Amino acid sequence: MVLLHIKHGAESLFLYEATCDTDMKTVYEEVTSIYNGRLKITQLCYDIEDLAKYGPVMPLDMQGLAPGQAEELKLVDDWADKCEVNGGWSSNPDPMGRRNGRQPNEDMQKVLLKSVEEAKQSISKDQVGANIALTTATISEALHQLRGATMVVYPMELPPHDPCFLTQEECNSVIGILVDDREFIDGTEAMLWFCSRHLSREGPLHKAINSKNEKTKIVVKLSGAISGPPAKEDAISEEERLKMLAYYRRKQDELQRLDQASSHDGGSSYDPSAEWTDSSSLKRQLAGFKGPISWRP
């Protein structure tokens, strides 16, 4: 299996596996679906964490109101009682005024947060270091896991306007998944780049990468159509650059300490022009030359 290390800009995202004969249209379709699926899961995890704290989202016309303002305007959240919490709830008002403040009990919070942690782990960038490739099935399984957790806590399901609300169809089919995110990349506009060269959507994978070796591992960058070719990465990473600076700083400090110690002991500081530093002095002494050779008459 050819292993594609997918990056977006300089950011490492995930690994993708395919055979040399895999059609490039399939590669494009699955890579963009996995990329957008990761965005979707990341968004859901943040929303479910808020769900565990403040309960479901209220209707749009009730969001952002001051305390008691909903009663004055005679607005009623019809979904509040329909979406009954398993095990009861306690009041915890949302400071943003977006959710109804019906916080699930502690056990139900643990169910939601555990599913969030497992979903994050399944799509983590750490999977690249562990050499674990992501698939569309991985994305689908994580979505099912998150949906299952919300259905345990809210057996009557969440209101349709809640971002945590997922249908069975959304979890089953992740190809062409839509995400409300500025980093979303449309599958029809996605572009894959290898060695600063755009990979065509036509033909098999081995033709695009010019290799039939099934053990090939390459770095491929994903971008949108309007982004153009991705910028080349620096020769060294920011972390390596900082380590190098720290190393040379330590060496400089060490030389300064040695120089100071030599001065305190009555010795002279290091002079690169001193006679004892000349590496050729022994050779000249053995040849009978005691002084510097002058070519002037």
Q: Quick one: pLDDT at residue 275?
A: 65
Assign 4 a pLDDT band (cuts: 50, 70, 90): very high
pLDDT in tens, 125-150: 999 999 999 999 999 999 999 999 99
Say how many C-beta atoms besides its own lie within 10 A of residue 276's C-beta: 6
Say how many C-beta atoms besides its own lie within 10 A of residue 20's C-beta: 17
Angle between helices 24-54 and 136-153 (to 10 degrees): 20
pTM: 0.76
Assign 38 a pLDDT band (cuts: 50, 70, 90): very high
What average pLDDT does range 171-187 have in this prediction?
81
Residue 240 scores a pLDDT above 60: yes
Distances (CA, A) of 42 to 115, 155, 181: 12, 23, 11
Q: Which two tokens stand for residue 190?
A: 């996605």
280 versus 273: the higher-pLDDT residue is 280
Identify the H or E element spanning 136. Answer: helix 136-153
Q: Which two tokens stand for residue 83?
A: 């979406």
Q: Quick one: pLDDT at residue 119?
A: 94
Given a contact cutoff of 8 angstroms between Cβ atoms, the answer to whether 5 and 15 are in contact is yes
Q: Quick one: pLDDT at residue 273?
A: 63
Could you identify the residue written with the tokens 């153009």?
Answer: 228
Q: Quick one: pLDDT at residue 276?
A: 63
pLDDT in tens, 114-128: 999 999 999 999 999
Given a contact cutoff of 8 angstroms between Cβ atoms, the answer to whether 164 and 158 are in contact is yes
With a CB cutoff of 8 Å and minimum separation 6, the contacts of 80 are: 56, 58, 100, 102
Q: Which of 136-140, 151-155, 275-279 has the lowest mean pLDDT?
A: 275-279
Indicate the average pLDDT of the chain: 86
Q: Quick one: pLDDT at residue 68?
A: 76
Annotate 279-294 with DSSP letters as a single string: TTHHHHHHTT--S---
Cα dihedral 170/174/180/185 (nearest 10): -160
What average pLDDT does range 10-27 have in this prediction?
93
Residue 24 scores a pLDDT above 60: yes
Assign 192 a pLDDT band (cuts: 50, 70, 90): very high
What average pLDDT does range 24-50 have in this prediction?
93
- Of 130, 129, 113, the residue nearest 44 (C-alpha): 113
Could you identify the residue written with the tokens 């033909």?
Answer: 203
pLDDT in tens, 57-91: 988 888 887 777 777 777 887 888 888 888 888 98
- Of 140, 151, 146, the residue nearest 117 (C-alpha): 146
